[in-house]
Copies of this chain bind each other. A is one copy, B any other.
Amino acid sequence: MIVVMEPRASEADIKKVIARIEELGLKAHPSRGTERTVIGVIGDERVIKREQLALLPHVENVIPILKPYRLASREFRPQDSIVDVEGVKVSGKEVVVMAGPCSVESEDQVMRVAEVVRAAGVRIMRGGAYKPRTSPYTFQGLGEDGLKLLAKAREKTGLRIVTEVMESADVDMVAEYADLIQIGARNMHNTKLLRSLAKVKKPVLLKRNFAATLNEFLMSAEYLLSGGNDQVILCERGIRTFVDYTRNTLDLNIVPAVKLLSHLPIIVDPSHGTGRHDLIIPMSRAAIAAGADGLLVEVHPNPAEAFSDGEQALTPDVFVQLMKELRPIASAVARVVV
C-alpha cells in the first residue's frame, strides 16, 4: 500500500501517517519526492483498511499494491487447477462443451435435448430448474420437479448435470441432483450462497456478474476457495455496456487475463453473452481460440416455443454444426473437442 501525501502536507502530517501505520502493526517507508511525499507500507496490507490512512489529514490518495485475492491467484498456485466433474476434467487437454436447454420444461423436452447433445459428443448437460427472471409474470422454473427430470436424463444417458441454485436454503437439495452446481450471474455477489457452496463437496460453476470487474469475480471465487471448496470453474457470460446490437457484450478478453492471473479454469457462455443465436457459432470459435476451457451453450428442440430465452438457443441442427466447427479450432490451439 502506498500513501500519497498532498503537496501541502506538513512534516507533522507525514509523521501522523507513519505513526498510524506503525500502530496498525506495519512498517512505514517514506520517500520525499520533488512534488509529493509518498509513504510505502511494508507488511501485509490486507489487514488494514484504506480509510484508516486515507482519511488522515492531507492524504491525497492510498494505492493498494497487492491483489485482493490470494487463493485464486496464480502466485498461490502456479499450475492450472483441473476440476473434475464426475470424471470429466475441465482445464485439461479437452475443451468441455456443456449444452442443454435454458429451462427444464418437460420430460419430453429434456430427453430430446439430452439425446441430441450426447450424440454430438457432449458429456455435461445444462438445464435450469430455478430461473431468476426479470418479470414476475413469466415462467420461473419447475423447481425440484425439474431437478428430477434432469436426474432422469442423467440415468438414461450418462450425461453429467449442471444446474443453478439460487438460495443457500436450496443448496443441499440441488447438490443431491447436480454434478456441477451453478451460481448464476445475478448471484455472483451473494455471499450467503457462496458461503453455503463453499461447504459442499461438489464442483461449482461461478458465472461472472454482468457488471463485475476481474477482481470482484476472483474475490467471489475466493469466498469458495477460502471456505473450503477448491473445485471452482469460472464462466464469462457477457457484460453490460452501451452496445445495443447484442444483449450483452461477451468479454473474451477476460479469458487470457484469467489465465495470466489465476489457476482456475474458465469457460464461456456465448448464449447469454450475445443473446443472439446467429452469433453463437463465431463467438464460440473465438472463445476456444482465446484459450477458454469450455463452453456453456443453450440448445432447444424448438426455440420459438422455449419457456425462456428462445432467441439465444440453438436448434439441434445448428448445435451439431457448432460442434463440427469447434473441432479444427480446438486442434489449432492443441486441444480437443470430444
A interface, CB within 8 angstroms of B: 2, 4, 7, 29, 31-36, 38, 40-44, 46, 49-52, 54-56, 61, 63, 65-66, 68, 75, 132-138, 140, 166-169, 186-187, 189-192, 194-195, 209-211, 213-216, 219, 222-223, 226-227, 239-246, 249-257, 259-260, 273-274, 277-279, 282-283, 285-291, 303-306, 309-311, 328-329, 331-333
Contacts and interface: CB of A to CB of B under 8 A. Distances in A.
B279 A283 contact: no
B187 A283 contact: no
Nearest to A193: B167
Contact of A250 (B169, B187, B253, B260): B253
A213 B241 CA distance: 10
Chain A: interface secondary structure?
A: mixed
Contacts of A40: 31, 33, 38, 40
Contacts of A240: 211, 240, 242
A210 B211 contact: yes
Nearest to A168: B167
Given A256-B283, A288-B289, A169 B166 contact: no
B34 A2 contact: no
Given A35-B44, A187-B190, A243-B214, A219 B50 contact: no
